Structure 1
Amino acid sequence: MKITAIAALAIPALAIAALAPFAASGQAPYKAPRTASGQPDIGGYWSNATLTPMQRDSKLGDRPAFTPAETRLLEADEAHQVDVGNKRTDPDAPVNAPNGLELKPSFLAAGGVVGGYTRAWLDPAHTVWRVAGQPRTSLLTTRDGHVPPRKTAGASAAGYYSGGGEGSRDPLGSYDNPENRPLSERCIMFGGNVGPPMLPNGFYNNDYNIVQTRDAIAIQVEMVHDTRIVRLNSRHRADDMRPWFGDSIGWWEGDTLVIETNHIPQKQAFQGAWKDLTITERLTRTAKDRLRYAFTVSAPTSWDRPWGGEYEFAPMRGVIYEYACNEGNYALPGILAGARNAERDRAGAPAKGGSD
């Protein structure tokens, strides 16, 4: 199993530098407890909710960390958001500013012009993520904290969700039938959280339960209770079947669990790559209450070299309960009814409920 090249790249320079305090102080690195089968124990309930974005604010340039003052300001503002958001909402308050609190663009986008969740219903995070104590400005560890430019245009995951337009065989595109709707809307899966890579969604349910056995690791995410199974000391499948979450195999390198995933389906394309996409993840218990997570993205037809990111899971408060998701809620019947009316319009027939 030739994995050393990609596995080595999965430890960004910042992660290596983070070990320096141990060397300087002479303090021995944390040694994780062992399971009954002798594996480092990384199991339990963890959360990756964070105020740190995946990609760095361009105004911060190449700075990998916030200053202490910036960190305090960000976390104080979040505490204020929570406090104000938990107060009773005036039903006549503007959609974009309930309780006088201006909603973040991402929260507002989720509700559109009719409004969505108020801050009280969301649980995105309360803190900036630290890695070895360093408050990071982005989850990515590229120099500028951004996804590198692609060599070629990305194939949208959505080769399935787009379409339409003049002359198209499917002029209604994503509105034509249920199978053309996004997987999350259909309650099939929310790929961002379960991964790979495993990334927080900025809204809620960024919680995980890791269960270990001698031969496999199960990673369950609270969002739609997706569960990824990692086969240990196994081989990748030899066919081109592409199961949800891809084909994940794993092995232990000392106290680090290395997971390599390929065979990722097009509907789960990451940053436009899927066909030759390999994602390598590394999980290391670095303290009683910290689980270091690093990932490397490799797709030779999309990028000249691998790139990635890292963060640290923190213990979850409590356990994961059932997540209920209702397919499309009220939207799906309306979307499909609109598509049928559009078909009748093109055919010159009266819309349902209309008259001659």
Structure 2
Amino acid sequence: MKRAAILALGTALGLMPFTYAAAADAPAAKAGKTAPYKAPRNAFGQPDLSGYWSNATLTPMARRAEHRDRLVLTEDEVKKMEANAEREVEEGNEPTDPDAPAEHRATPTVVRPEFAAAGGDVGGYNRGWLDPGNHVMRVNGEPRSSLLTTPNGLPPPRKAGAPAPPRFGGGMGAFDSYETRSLGERCILSFGRNSGPPMFPNGFYNNNYQVLQTADTVVIQVEMIHDTRVVRLNAQHRTDGVRPYMGDSIGRWEGDTLVVETVNIPQAQQFMGAWKDLKVTERFTRVGKHRLHYAFQVEDPTVWDKPWGGEYEFSPLEGMIYEYACHEGNYALPGILAGARVEEAEKAAAASAAKPPAGASAP
């Protein structure tokens, strides 16, 4: 059975489900007098953010048209979305006829927009290979229509005269070299900005993280594609001009909130066209036993008129993160480039055959 693949290379050696406990852990939206949550302290006296977390969710980064200018969904809308997700899993895991032709494609009754954009029939052999999240994201108990908190849930307009988004780093049709393929396809960083900053769920699988803390460092391990982001506490940004993957992150504690400021983001990791002057500020706050609040703000005065951002809450992951065995040079990448060379040779041969012989007059 022919299926569309999200990544042609890499094999996830573990797809751990996550526990969506945020809704149960969150206070009622208008619960009245509720004592504010006090995060436990670790051995260094810091608020304890450590552990295994997931940001998998049904809620998209940008708001869908049907929700217009509403950040908060109704409970009826939540029930419908989550019921559709459950039906999507059931249909996606139905047995496949072993005698079906190679071009056979399933015809599910429910397909979420991200899957439709990726070709519709996503997930390898069946839906069991995916773990995109089956619950609507809640922040302080409110079901959200988007992770972005701009008025319309969309990125703001770009400034007039803002530099065009760079074409560096791949995209469909960029087959000249491995260097023109995307960072995700090359197994350098996750597709979908899992690694960040800012960090977003990718909508498909492996939206899992581990947070580790020391006296002077916070480390965020990203399962997809085994990236490790190091946040230096009470430090200064580097001034040597080097732009490491995931940027140059420094952090500080403001009460119970870890504030992380990242600059020096490389061009290959541009965010909506911004990179050279991009600054991302993230805030991590433990707001419940099962809730880690995450807020981000992006700013680039050459691209947008003012800063903007969004928020969501991580939920605890059952178990631990396993190795994501993905490496540049996997079989798929040479195959992709070799296929492009064959296609080029065929086109050149066809053009040569159609060209009139030397000295012959054109008809």
Is the TM-score greater than 0.5?
yes
Does the residue aligned with 1:194 lie in a helix, a strand or coil?
coil
Q: CA–CA distance in 2 between the matches of 1:42 and 1:109? A: 35
Deviation at 1:211, TM superposition (A): 0.2
Matches within 5 A, 1:155-170: 155-161=164-170
Amino acid at match of 1:57: R
**Higher normalized helix content (fraction of residues):** 1
- In the alignment, structure 2 segments of 5+ residues that lack a partner are 1-25, 353-363
Amino acid at match of 1:140: L
Q: CA–CA distance in 1 between the matches of 2:111 and 2:65? A: 21
| Alignment check: 8 A CA contact 2:280 2:299 kept | yes
Q: Which range moves more in the overlay, 112-121 or 151-160? A: 112-121
Q: Which runs of 4+ in 1 moved over 6 A?
A: 112-115, 345-351
| 1:147 maps to which of 152, 155, 160 | 155
Does the residue aligned with 1:175 lie in a helix, a strand or coil?
coil
Distance 1:57 1:344, change over 3 A: closer
Does the residue aligned with 1:199 lie in a helix, a strand or coil?
coil
Q: Residue by residue, what CA displacement relative to the aligned partner does 1:188-230 show, whole Å, maximum 9, x if unpaired? A: 1116001000100000000100000000000011111111000
Q: Residue by residue, what CA displacement relative to the aligned partner does 1:57-110 show, whole Å, maximum 9, x if unpaired? A: 122121111101010111111111122222322342875425x45544533554
The equivalent of 2:145 in structure 1 is: 137
> Are 1:189 and 2:224 matched, yes or no?
no
Does the residue aligned with 2:225 lie in a helix, a strand or coil?
helix
Matches within 5 A, 1:170-181: 174-181=174-181
| Alignment check: 8 A CA contact 2:49 2:211 kept | yes
Q: CA–CA distance in 1 between the matches of 2:153 and 2:120? A: 29
| Alignment check: 8 A CA contact 1:217 1:232 kept | yes
> Are 1:273 and 2:274 matched, yes or no?
yes
The equivalent of 1:58 in structure 2 is: 65
Deviation at 1:342, TM superposition (A): 5.7
| Alignment check: 8 A CA contact 1:218 1:228 kept | yes
| Alignment check: 8 A CA contact 1:46 1:207 kept | yes
Q: CA–CA distance in 1 between the matches of 2:123 and 2:89? A: 18
| Alignment check: 8 A CA contact 1:96 1:108 kept | no
Amino acid at match of 2:246: F
Q: Residue by residue, what CA displacement relative to the aligned partner does 1:220-258 show, whole Å, maximum 9, x if unpaired? A: 111111110000000001122100000000000000000
The equivalent of 2:128 in structure 1 is: 120
The equivalent of 1:12 in structure 2 is: none
Identity of aligned residues (%): 59
Deviation at 1:161, TM superposition (A): 2.9
| Alignment check: 8 A CA contact 2:290 2:316 kept | yes
The equivalent of 2:253 in structure 1 is: 252
Distance 1:73 1:112, change over 3 A: closer
| Aligned residue pair count | 323
Deviation at 1:335, TM superposition (A): 2.8
- In the alignment, structure 1 segments of 5+ residues that lack a partner are 1-17, 164-172, 352-356
The equivalent of 1:25 in structure 2 is: 32
Distance 1:311 1:350, change over 3 A: same
The equivalent of 2:304 in structure 1 is: 303
The equivalent of 1:291 in structure 2 is: 292
Q: Which range moves more in the overlay, 212-221 or 101-110? A: 101-110
Q: CA–CA distance in 2 between the matches of 1:126 and 1:105? A: 14
> Are 1:76 and 2:83 matched, yes or no?
yes
Give the RMSD, CA atoms, in angstroms. Answer: 2.9
Q: Which structure has the higher relative contact order (CA within 8 Å, separation 6+)?
A: 2
| Alignment check: 8 A CA contact 1:276 1:300 kept | yes
